[in-house]
Structure 1
Amino acid sequence: MSNIKALNWRYATKKFDDSRILSEDKIEVLKQAFNLTATSYGLQPLKMLVISNKKLQAELKNFSFGQEQVNTASHVLVICIENKIDEEFITNYFKRVKHVRETPEKILKPFHEFLINDFKTKEVEEIEAWAINQAYLALGTLLTVCAAEEIDACPMEGFEPEKYDEFLNLHEKNLRSVLVLPVGYRSQDDMFSKFKKVRRPLDEVIIEID
């Protein structure tokens, strides 16, 4: 499926076929896509929960304004941000860079020190907002990959993060939930799958500068 055809095929699935489960291979693709998504500075201040326990999904529906997608999806992905992005977190990133790329310390040191000093000047709320932006980047990557893999998905901001965090013990993991993405296969009687896409004309949203 071409990229544009895939993006036309996808929609925010309102009703999943709860009898169909994504294969481990498909879930592995989504895990890899999440891990390969672009993030600012490459710091990856994110983690993702992959939930396939139906009892948990039924409970999470109660904290998702009753939206059935959470209950009927094959899996529920919860994108979370790290609560603590500090000097140690940044240093661990540079240790990975040094290990993977074998980059000399003298080359890494200036940027390493810059990031540490830069983050020290930021308020907690500013760092949190920055991390949330990275979660949306990851969501965009996942939605595109879902379309390419013909996996149905429904991006959700409509849930109660505090209750998710409490129910899933995210505070113990130093995490906070930001976005929810039920994934699976659309039900054949989901009327929304037949709707035409409504988008502004290209000449209204694209500005070409020669």
Structure 2
Amino acid sequence: MSNAPITPEQLLQQLNWRYATKKFDPTRLIPDDVWNALEQSLVLSPSSFGLQPWKFFVVKNPDIRKQLVEHSWGQPQVIDASHLVVFAIKKDVDAAYIDRYMERTAEVRQTSVESLQGFSNVIKGFMEKPPFPLDINAWSTRQVYIAMGVYMTSAALLGVDTCPMEGIVPAKYDEVLGLAEQGYATVAACPAGYRAEGDNHATLAKVRFKTEDMIQYI
């Protein structure tokens, strides 16, 4: 007997239900308990070494959202969705950031920072002498997309619509939100809420290459 909290059929149903929502219902807000779960899906997202080289900015201020529309190719989802999350990297992750992570690890696991020195050295060694050419900010960006995937999947399982957006001007987002002075840089945005009636994209068949063309067993 499976201990899975949902069935395979339920998972596939929600993944097929999900689509990049083009038109949100501005009158429908995500309930607090649902949003709290989605917020935690961001916090609980996996990352390399568990380092979390990111921050998620939830833009609630409607005036700021209006400013962001012109830097989002005019896409109305930025305004109409219940919530707008901006996914940003922590720029230039360094030894000091790793030390902060070690301190947090010691706090959560009730151990000493000294006992974590070996783990800390592994991470710092990877950053200082990587096994392959490494652009630290590009590496952090890849981590952010993991978080976005977890967030979108979590939303789908909760019946919440999302729209991942790279069609934005990251530098302008940074400017409007004041991210540069905080040490962060925008990667992408993802509105979340509930689809509006009449969004024809909701009923279009999902186009994917055949499974056998995309999955190869070796």
Deviation at 1:117, TM superposition (A): 3.0
- Residue identity matched to 1:80: A
Residue in structure 2 matched with residue 168 of structure 1 by the alignment:
177
Determine which of 50, 73, 79 is the counterpart of 1:42.
50
2:158 pairs with 1:149: yes
* TM-score, normalised with respect to structure 1: 0.93
1:82 and 1:111 map into 2 onto residues whose CA distance is 21
Residue in structure 2 matched with residue 70 of structure 1 by the alignment:
78
Deviation at 1:183, TM superposition (A): 0.6
Identify the range of structure 1 (91-100 vs 27-36) with the bigger mean alpha-carbon deviation. Answer: 91-100
Aligned partner of residue 80 in structure 1, secondary structure: strand
Identify the range of structure 1 (138-147 vs 95-104) with the bigger mean alpha-carbon deviation. Answer: 95-104
Once the two structures are superposed, what CA deviation does each residue of 1:159-206 show, in whole Å capped at 9, x if it has no partner? 000000001111121110101001111001100001011111111111
Residue in structure 2 matched with residue 188 of structure 1 by the alignment:
197
2:67 pairs with 1:59: yes
Give the 5 Å matches for 1:119-130: 119-121=127-129, 126-130=135-139
Contact 2:92 2:137 in 1 (8 A): no
Gaps of 5+ in 2: 1-5
Determine which of 2, 5, 9 is the counterpart of 2:13.
5
Residue in structure 2 matched with residue 94 of structure 1 by the alignment:
102
Distance change (3 Å), C-alpha of 1:12 and 1:104: same
2:204 and 2:88 map into 1 onto residues whose CA distance is 31
- Residue identity matched to 1:13: T
Determine which of 115, 137, 152 is the counterpart of 2:146.
137
Deviation at 1:125, TM superposition (A): 7.0
2:196 and 2:138 map into 1 onto residues whose CA distance is 36
Aligned partner of residue 7 in structure 1, secondary structure: helix
1:24 and 1:125 map into 2 onto residues whose CA distance is 40
Residue in structure 2 matched with residue 158 of structure 1 by the alignment:
167
- Residue identity matched to 2:154: V
Structure 1 residue ranges (4+ consecutive) displaced by more than 6 angstroms after TM superposition? none
1:51 and 1:27 map into 2 onto residues whose CA distance is 13
Deviation at 1:105, TM superposition (A): 5.0
Identity %: 38
1:41 and 1:55 map into 2 onto residues whose CA distance is 37
Equivalent pairs, count:
209
Deviation at 1:114, TM superposition (A): 2.3
Deviation at 1:113, TM superposition (A): 1.4
Root-mean-square deviation (CA, aligned residues, Å) is 1.9
Deviation at 1:53, TM superposition (A): 2.0
Distance change (3 Å), C-alpha of 1:104 and 1:170: closer
* TM-score, normalised with respect to structure 2: 0.90
1:80 and 1:51 map into 2 onto residues whose CA distance is 13
